[in-house]
Amino acid sequence: MTASTSRSPARRSTTQGKAVREALLAQQGFRSAQDVYAALRADGHKIGLSTVYRHLQSFAEEGTADAIYNPDGETTYRYCGDQAAGRHHHHLVCRDCGRAEEVEGRAVERWAEETAEKFGYTQVDHTVEVFGICRACARK
């Protein structure tokens, strides 16, 4: 079974690459490519839209960022602290401000596996996202 998942040659370190990463870090939550692009331009950066897309995709591939697809059909990305990179985890996202907490859920992992097994499914994978309103936003 595909042991080597199409390995990309590890992106070269560039000014724009850093800019995109920083923009993503600066924003506490999930941001769309368009958002990041707008933020960078607003900040005076000279960067192209496609470049932003390419970097965000790279992050997602190398596991440095998580991607989730929102109901508007946009792909949103969030930078995962270098520690969490790669480690399996989920998110608790504020519907209002976009801030996100990294959370673990052994209970969920186990449940997913058990459920799949019960129905005879193999090669199990899953997506779990929890949405809510964070304390700060609730006060507003």
Partner DNA sequence: CTATTTGCAAAGTATTTGCCACCAT
Partner DNA sequence: ATGGTGGCAAATACTTTGCAAATAG
71 binds, among DNA, a copy of itself, none (CB under 5 to 8 A by kind): a copy of itself
Choosing from 25, 26, 43, 50, the residue that interacts with DNA (CB under 7 A) is: 50
Nearer to a copy of itself, 17 or 105 (CB): 105
SS3 25: helix
Computed on alpha carbons and rounded to an integer, the radius of gyration of the chain in Å comes to 17
Kindly state the tokens that stand for 78. Answer: 């969030």
- 118 contacts DNA (rule: CB under 7 A): no
Binding site for a copy of itself (CB under 8 A): 69-71, 73, 75, 92, 94-95, 101, 103, 105, 107-108, 110-112, 115-116, 119-135, 138
In the complex, minimum distance from the CB of residue 8 to a copy of itself, in angstroms, rounded to a whole number:
17
Choosing from 21, 22, 38, 53, the residue that interacts with DNA (CB under 7 A) is: 53
In the complex, minimum distance from the CB of residue 46 to a copy of itself, in angstroms, rounded to a whole number:
28
- 14 contacts DNA (rule: CB under 7 A): yes
Q: Cα–Cα distance between 28 and 101 in angstroms, integer?
A: 9
- 74 contacts DNA (rule: CB under 7 A): yes
The amino acid present at 137, given as its one-letter code, is C
Q: Are strands 75-79 and 31-32 parallel, antiparallel or unpaired?
A: antiparallel
Q: Cα–Cα distance between 29 and 27 in angstroms, integer?
A: 6
- 16 contacts DNA (rule: CB under 7 A): yes
CA angle at residue 44 from 98 to 16, to 5 degrees? 75
DSSP run (H or E) holding 50: helix 49-62
